[in-house]
C-alpha cells in the first residue's frame, strides 16, 4: 500500500489524504485544519477557484440534509463540481454491493468522495479500495466517527474560548449511539483539553467509556458544575434497540438541558448541539435559543471547516 | 551577514518610497501580498500615509500550482478594508519573479470589484518572468544564478533584510 501503514488517513509524507476519523490524527493536522478554516470565515469573497475542474461526489447511504448541504456549499465555494447521490434510494435497493457502487462512481472520474453510511467502518473500506488519487471524507459512519462535525465543534469552541488548555467540557446525553461524541472526545484529547466529562444514564454510555480518558457522571448537576463548554447530543431514537430508556419525557426530566441545570455551569459557558435538535427531549427551547447557545454559528463554521478539509486534502498528492 | 552580495532591504525600501510618493494619494489603496509583500506594504503605508487602511491578500486559493504543490501550511486571510471599485491600487510584493503570484493576486482582486487601475510595486525584481507582467516601482533589479533564490526576512525589531538561498535540485 502506498498509504502510511500506521495511519491509513495519511500519505507517506504524513499529510492528510483521507479524513476518516479524528482518532490518531496528529495535533498538527487538526490545528492546520482549524487555522485554514479561519481564512474562510467572514470573507467578502465567498467563492475561490481552488478546486475548479474537480468533482466532489456526496455519496450518502444514510439520509442527511444538513451535513450533505454544508458539504455541497463548501465544495461549491471552492468551485468544485458537486454531484449528490442518495444511494439509499437507488443502487443499494437494487442489490448492488458497496464496492460495485464505488467502482462505478470512480469510473465517473470522481476526485473526492464524501461518504455517509449507517455502518461503522464503511468509509475506511471505501478508502482502501479507491484509486490512489481519490480522496475520501467520512461524513458520518454508524456509531463510529463524524470527523468534520468534531472539527467544527472544536472550531466553534476555539472561536469563543480561544484556547483549550484551561477548558472543562461536558458531553451530555446519548453517548452510546453518538459518532459525534467519539469524534469530540478524540479531538479534545489531542488538542490538550484537560478535563472531558460525559454525562448520561448508564444505558446510554458505552461500557468502559472512561478508558478514553473521560470522567463519567450520571447526574447533570454534578457533571455540569463549573464547565466551560456543554455539548448536547441528539437522542437517537432511530438507533435504539430494546428498552434503553423508559421514555423521552423521563430523559428530559433528568438529562434535558434546561436553564436551571445550565445555571451550575460557568456563567459564560457555551452550549453546542450537532443538530437536528429534539426540543423538549435533550434540550429546552429557552436554552437552544438562549444567549449561551452557539448552535447556529456551529452550522456556519461547519462550511468553513469542510472547505478547509477539502482544500488541504485535494492538494496533497 | 559578511560577504552578503545582496543589497540592504531597508535602503531599497527607502528608494521605493521615494519612487512611489508622487503616485500615492490619500485614496490610493496599498495591497500587500502575504507574507513578504505584506511587510513591505505596511512600511510603505506608514511612510506614504494614505487616508485609507492598508490591505492584504493571501493568494493561496488562486494559485495555479495548487495541483502540483498543494495548499501551503499557513494561509492567511485576505483583508481589503476599502471598496475596490473605481479605486487606484498598488499591489505590493517582496520579490517579483515569474509573475504567477501577481496573476493570482489580480484574479483575486477582481473578485472584490473593478479597480480604476492597478500598479505593481516590488522591493526586488529578479527577472525570469513567465507572464506579461511588469512592475511600475522597483527597489532593485537583481541577477541571480539558476538555482538561487532570494527571500525577504523580518527580524524581531521589524527590520527587513534579504537572504540568498541555494535551491536543492
Domains, chain A, ranges and CATH? 27-145+300-315 (3.40.50.1370), 147-295 (3.40.50.1370)
* Chain A residues close to B75, C-beta within 8 Å: 35-36, 39
- For residue A88, the model assigns a pLDDT of 73
Would you call A304 an interface residue with chain B, using a CB distance cutoff of 8 Å? no
- For residue A4, the model assigns a pLDDT of 73
* Chain B residues close to A36, C-beta within 8 Å: 71, 75
Of B66, B78, B111, the CB nearest to A315: B66
From A38, which residue of chain B is nearest by alpha-carbon distance? B77
Task: Please state which of the four CATH numbers 3.40.50.2020, 3.40.50.300, 3.40.640.10, 3.30.300.30 is assigned to the domain occupying B9-166.
Answer: 3.40.50.2020
- For residue A21, the model assigns a pLDDT of 97
Of A32, A43, A49, the CB nearest to B73: A32
A37 has a pLDDT exceeding 60: yes
Residue A141 CB neighbours (<10 A): 26
Burial of residue A228, with CB atoms counted within 10 A of its CB: 0-12 exposed, 13-18 middle, 19 or more buried: buried
Q: Please compute the mean of the pLDDT values over residues B67-79 and round it to a whole number.
A: 92
From A314, which residue of chain B is nearest by alpha-carbon distance? B70
* Higher-pLDDT residue of A6, A307: A307
Q: Please compute the mean of the pLDDT values over residues B2-15 and round it to a whole number.
A: 84
Q: Where are the beta strands (DSSP E) in chain A?
A: 55-60, 81-86, 112-117, 135-141, 168-172, 195-199, 215-217, 229-232, 270-272
Question: Phi and psi of A28, rounded to 5°?
Answer: -55, -40
* Chain A residues close to B62, C-beta within 8 Å: 48-50
Instruction: Determine, for residues A36 and B75 on separate chains, whether the beta-carbon distance falls below 8 Å.
Output: yes
ipTM higher than the 0.90 cut: no
- Interatomic CA distance for residues B32 and B29, integer angstroms: 10
pLDDT per residue over A16-35, tens digit each? 999 999 999 999 999 999 99
What's the mean per-residue pLDDT of chain A? 93
Q: Please compute the mean of the pLDDT values over residues A255-272 and round it to a whole number.
A: 97
Which residues numbered 14-53 in B keep a CB inside 8 Å of some CB on A?
none
Instruction: Determine, for residues A49 and B75 on separate chains, whether the beta-carbon distance falls below 8 Å.
Output: no
pLDDT per residue over A183-242, tens digit each? 999 999 999 999 999 999 999 999 999 999 999 999 999 999 999 999 999 998 776 666
B57 has a pLDDT exceeding 60: yes
Nearest residue to B12 via CA among B89, B96, B68, B73: B96
Go through chain B and tell me how many residues it has. Answer: 169
Amino acid at each position: 500500500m502506498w498509504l502510511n501503514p500506521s495511519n491509513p488517513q495519511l500519505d507517506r509524507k504524513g499529510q492528510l489524504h483521507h479524513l476518516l476519523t479524528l482518532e490518531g490524527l496528529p495535533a498538527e493536522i487538526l490545528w492546520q485544519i482549524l487555522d485554514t478554516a479561519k481564512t474562510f470565515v467572514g470573507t467578502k469573497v465567498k467563492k475561490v477557484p481552488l478546486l475548479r475542474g474537480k468533482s466532489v461526489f456526496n455519496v450518502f447511504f444514510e439520509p442527511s440534509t444538513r451535513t450533505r448541504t454544508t458539504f455541497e456549499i463548501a465544495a461549491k465555494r471552492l468551485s468544485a463540481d458537486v454531484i449528490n447521490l442518495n444511494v439509499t434510494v437507488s443502487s443499494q435497493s437494487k442489490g448492488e454491493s458497496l464496492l460495485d457502487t464505488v467502482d462505478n462512481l470512480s469510473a465517473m472520474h470522481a476526485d473526492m468522495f464524501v461518504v455517509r453510511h449507517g455502518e461503522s467502518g464503511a468509509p475506511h473500506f471505501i478508502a482502501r479500495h479507491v484509486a490512489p488519487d481519490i480522496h475520501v471524507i467520512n461524513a458520518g459512519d454508524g456509531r463510529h466517527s463524524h470527523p468534520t462535525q468534531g472539527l467544527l465543534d472544536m472550531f466553534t469552541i476555539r472561536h469563543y474560548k480561544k484556547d483549550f488548555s484551561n477548558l472543562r467540557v461536558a458531553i451530555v446525553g446519548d453517548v452510546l449511539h453518538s459518532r459525534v461524541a467519539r469524534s469530540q472526545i478524540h479531538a479534545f484529547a489531542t488538542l490538550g483539553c484537560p478535563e472531558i466529562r460525559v454525562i448520561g444514564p448508564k444505558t446510554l454510555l458505552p461500557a468502559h467509556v472512561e478508558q478514553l480518558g473521560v470522567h463519567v457522571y450520571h447526574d447533570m448537576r454534578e457533571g455540569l458544575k463549573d464547565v466551560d463548554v456543554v455539548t448536547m447530543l441528539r437522542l437517537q431514537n432511530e438507533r435504539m434497540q430494546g428498552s434503553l430508556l423508559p421514555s423521552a419525557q423521563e430523559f428530559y426530566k433528568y438529562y434535558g438541558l434546561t436553564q436551571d441545570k445550565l445555571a451550575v455551569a460557568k456563567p459564560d459557558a457555551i452550549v453546542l448541539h450537532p443538530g437536528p435538535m429534539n426540543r423538549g427531549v435533550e434540550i429546552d427551547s429557552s436554552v437552544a435559543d438562549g444567549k449561551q447557545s452557539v448552535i447556529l454559528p456551529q452550522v456556519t463554521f461547519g462550511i468553513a471547516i469542510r472547505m478547509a478539509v477539502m482544500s488541504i486534502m485535494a492538494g496533497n498528492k | 551577514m559578511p560577504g552578503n552580495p545582496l543589497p540592504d532591504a531597508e535602503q531599497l525600501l527607502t528608494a521605493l518610497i521615494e519612487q512611489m510618493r508622487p503616485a500615492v494619494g490619500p485614496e490610493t489603496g496599498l495591497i500587500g501580498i502575504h507574507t513578504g509583500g505584506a511587510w513591505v506594504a505596511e512600511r510603505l503605508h506608514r511612510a506614504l500615509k494614505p487616508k485609507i487602511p492598508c490591505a492584504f491578500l493571501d493568494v493561496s486559493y488562486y494559485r495555479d500550482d495548487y495541483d502540483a504543490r498543494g495548499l501551503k501550511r499557513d494561509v492567511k486571510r485576505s483583508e481589503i478594508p476599502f471598496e475596490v471599485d473605481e479605486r487606484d491600487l498598488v499591489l505590493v510584493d517582496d520579490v517579483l519573479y515569474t509573475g504567477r503570484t501577481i496573476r493570482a493576486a489580480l484574479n483575486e482582486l477582481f473578485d472584490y470589484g473593478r479597480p480604476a487601475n492597478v500598479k505593481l510595486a516590488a522591493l526586488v525584481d529578479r527577472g525570469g518572468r513567465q507572464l506579461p507582467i511588469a512592475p511600475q516601482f522597483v527597489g532593485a533589479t537583481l541577477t541571480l544564478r539558476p538555482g538561487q533564490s532570494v527571500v525577504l526576512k523580518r527580524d524581531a525589531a521589524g527590520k527587513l533584510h534579504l537572504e540568498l538561498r541555494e535551491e536543492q535540485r
